[in-house]
Amino acid sequence: MNNHFRHSFVASLYTLLCAVLIFACASTLFAQEDVKAGVNDLKAVYIFNFIRFTDWPLRTGLKRGSDVKLLVLGDRDILSTMQSIAEKKAAREIGLSVESCATDSCISAASALFIGSGERDDYPRLLDLVAGHPVLTISDIPGFAAHGGMIEIRYDNKKLTFVVNLQAVNRSGLYISAQLLQLGEIIGRDHE
């Protein structure tokens, strides 16, 4: 019985060893890009890029090179990731500051607003609050862009895409660069 133990164990090891060899060789044929990103990390970098590719109307004194105040509501992960991004050189260059506040006056004074899924039930009110102000509204809540939000981040087949409601953007007086627009899905074009 003892030898049986050893035989079966050694056999298992060798089976796995053969498997290693086969798969190691096979891997040369099936090599693929194997790098992923954490979904919240990528969402935060998207938000940063949306801000980077947006120009605020001159009368607000906000344009690239001046301070941009981003409010993050309803998503603690995104908030903390954005806060660490705000400390990086690339973010300091555009004067990005990240906050989370709950008062109406604070919210309408923001230059950009990310509404996380924690505010799913309250986002129409938040959109009303900033309507008419040059506030870039971003969210990952499904249907956000169709319901008056400006940019909606979508999770689709293990990738992140985004939808821009151009009508909402134009109405607020913001300008989003064509370089960004060509990568996303556009709804609410003027001629539509």
Residues 6+ apart with CB under 8 A from 114: 47, 70, 71, 72, 73, 75, 78, 82, 138, 139
Toward another protein, which CB reaches closer, 81 or 100? 81
Q: With left for phi above 0 and alpha for psi between -120 and 50, is residue 104 left, alpha or beta?
A: alpha
In the complex, the residues that contact another protein under the rule CB under 8 A are 1-3, 5-10, 12-14, 16-17, 19-21, 23-28, 30-39, 41-42, 44-46, 48-49, 53, 81, 84-85, 88, 90, 155, 158-161, 179-180, 183
Closest contact distance (angstroms) between CB of 159 and another protein is 6
Residues 6+ apart with CB under 8 A from 100: 71, 72, 73, 79
Closest contact distance (angstroms) between CB of 138 and another protein is 14
User: Of 157, 176, 161, whose CA–CA distance to 51 is shortest?
Assistant: 176
Closest contact distance (angstroms) between CB of 92 and another protein is 12
Closest contact distance (angstroms) between CB of 152 and another protein is 14
Closest contact distance (angstroms) between CB of 34 and another protein is 5
Residues 6+ apart with CB under 8 A from 110: 69, 70, 71, 99, 130, 135
CA atoms of 134 and 120, how far apart (whole Å): 22
The three-state secondary structure class of 56 is coil
